[in-house]
Structure 1
């Protein structure tokens, strides 16, 4: 709980943060990296280049100010942020550094409007949020691995899924044991660019747990300028060969697809968003092949149909799996659009629904599902970036 002195200042900050949030976070990151250049290896510099990271932090600060008296609303967001932080090896000593520069950016952008009582209120608010994140991250690390621990993996195979997507199958060096994970979770992959900068990126695991390898499916990105220069996905496509090594984190992520439901499962995917669904399908085919599953998959063209072999194998192994492919660039574009009308009403009434794909795709599908009477608590999305806070902003 916040002090009575701080509460009115936090509430009064909401419209200010809505108006100036991105400017504040842009100043924050510039000052942070100038003072602590080693953090350039921690933060996603591609997202810095295209402005996504600044928007994400602005949305997070605004959402926290608007919902600080509603812990239940913030809890799922905090859990998701904690998993992301754990995948990056974030430790408690980083939080005071971030706090100092965040308050400094608020003061720099707002000028005289950032009065000492306002800054004191935000110091209190940031401290409370930092303590919550630190405690959750400590618990999560305790159940998995030490902060920042990485595993050295060898590229055992590279499978071309489409003209722009490849699956990289990774095996541990020295026959080390593979970590356990739940379908839907992701790993951080670390690469070092030619200029010496080291960058992590998160990729959903795209095969079932319990095998002798981990798989990620990576789509090459159409980027320009500084964003292209720091694209880990493109580096993997252009440089990685069988036999090469990669450093990866332990698997994390709270987007976990339950393989033992007594209710129907609906999976809605677009493009490379199919990857966590493949991990779930391959797992279900082994542990629960009678599960009722409806998989609806949207791609722009048949050439972009990823993991075709996995889906065809799952159809053979799972008699209650219903699959439909949508190609939006087909002759009849309207017919090629994914629609939840293809899911029986009886299924929608009780199904757990999992979505992964571009932000616009998931926002549209969620809206349609809610309009169809599906409770928001049964809709699960794998998202990062500003859309993470969609329900709170």
Structure 2
């Protein structure tokens, strides 16, 4: 059913309400849906539910859709990002019917006297329009996944054959298919979803972790920071279990690679990789790919973290740099000890203005990954230094709440 002009106006009329009460609406929605359909607790990240990040992310998405209801095509980038996340969680078309039922009921319940049948019908048509768009996109992503050699959909068991401590906070897990088959190639920058059973919750919980190595057809590597979440709060429970309980030889469930934050491998122009903390992981995959493929592209590596004890991949980065004649490195620590007071190391947070022409290269693409405040600062600094926003690509870990323009 096509949405009518009258229904478009009704949707647009809810924009002020969504701006003011969007989070209240989405909080009610998730509570309602997970109460009526508790099996979906195995799909949703309960850590993000507990922190409120998921509710805020959905509220922003609903608002953006309502504001652009006349031409949803302008949201193609955001929709694509969500579609990749859904495929990584094995979301299927039938799930949209469940979500739609509870979203419409929540709109009616939260609006109360301001709700009326014509408005709910307008939102029903609008939601179905979006659900059809998402399901179509995800169908193509699933088809692409199984078309690759070694590809699959759903959850596949993988063996942890190696577990390597990269810093005091970050460990790498080398994952091989338990069935002995191959693994599909991926684009540098993409991520995996892993799913573990949490007996304390009697639930499976999925989490996304960036692939931290170049594609190799044999194994996947993820590198996980041990978060500070405490029981029984689900935030950090998976990373803590991976660090403390999962050992070499154990089996975990993995979904196919996904994500649209990827290196443009068709270019020959310079690349500037800027990371904060564990945001280093997808950028390391990009760097490894460039070196493994013999690329002559000029590469600038900028990384910031608290100190060298938490600085992961120091030795691998040195080895990679030795193989690449055009790699320049700039490392920022919150504080430097005497051994680190050498060229290429800086005290304080990542500050691109201190690097100037060393970091801003003609025709370069810039890839940012780290916490949201880190990304926002680097984005704004690059714009101030004359970089076009089209040349800046970023990945925000967790639910997407950051909109930069």
Report the TM-score range of the alignment, normalised by the length of the smaller protein: over 0.9
Q: 2:352 maps to which residue? A: 340
So what's the TM-score if we normalise by structure 1? 0.94
Root-mean-square deviation over aligned CA pairs: 2.1
Aligned residue runs from structure 1 range 52-201, under 5 A: 52-145=53-146, 148-195=153-200, 196-201=202-207
Any gaps of 5 or more consecutive residues in structure 1? none
Output the CA distance in 1 between the equivalents of 2:235 and 2:331.
34
SS at match of 1:158: strand
- The 8 Å contact of residues 289 and 319 in structure 1, kept in 2 or not, is answered as no
Report the more deviating stretch, 279-288 or 87-96.
279-288
- Cα distance, 1:260 vs. partner? 4.5
Aligned to 2:274: 268
Residues paired across the two proteins, number: 392
* Greater mean deviation of Cα atoms: 178-187 or 218-227: 218-227
- CA distance in 2 between partners of 1:346 and 1:297 (Å): 12
The residue that corresponds to 1:41 in the other structure is 42
Take 1:309 and 1:2, find their aligned partners in 2: how far apart are those partners? 57
Q: Give how far 1:320 is off.
A: 0.5
Q: Write 1 or 2 for the structure with the bigger share of helix.
A: 1
2:225 matched residue in structure 1:
219
2:393 corresponds in structure 1 to 380
CA distance in 2, matches of 1:149, 1:277: 26
> Cα–Cα, structure 1 residues 93 and 147, in superposed 2: closer, same or farther, change >3 Å?
farther
Residue among 255, 264, 272 paired with 2:261: 255
- How far apart are residue 230 of structure 1 and its match? 6.4
Closer, same or farther: CA 288–68 of 1 in aligned 2, 3 Å: farther
Contact 2:370 2:397 in 1 (8 A): no
SS across alignment from 1:374 = coil
Higher RCO, 1 vs 2 (CA within 8 Å, ≥6 residues apart)? 1
Aligned in 2, Cα 1:213/1:363: closer, same or farther, shift over 3 Å? same
Does the aligned pair in 2 maintain the 1:77–1:388 contact within 8 Å?
no
Determine if contact 1:159/1:166 at 8 Å carries over to the other structure: yes
The alpha-carbon deviation at position 365 of structure 1 amounts to: 0.8
Q: How far, CA to CA, are the matches of 1:278 and 1:345 in structure 2? A: 20
- Deviation of the 1:72 alpha carbon: 4.4
Counterpart-to-counterpart distance in 2, 1:280 and 1:373:
24
SS at match of 1:5: helix
User: How many Å apart are 1:211 and its aligned residue?
Assistant: 5.0
SS in 2 for 1:108: helix
After TM superposition, the structure 1 stretch with the greater mean CA deviation from structure 2, 167-176 or 357-366, is 167-176
TM-score (norm 2): 0.92
Q: Does structure 1 residue 301 correspond to structure 2 residue 307?
A: yes
In 2, distance between residues paired with 1:313 and 1:40?
A: 43
Q: How much has 1:289 moved relative to structure 2? A: 3.8
State the distance in 1 between where 2:335 and 2:7 align: 54
CA distance in 1, matches of 2:258, 2:235: 27
Q: Equivalent residue of 2:199, what SS?
A: coil
Larger mean Cα displacement after TM superposition, 131-140 or 364-373: 364-373
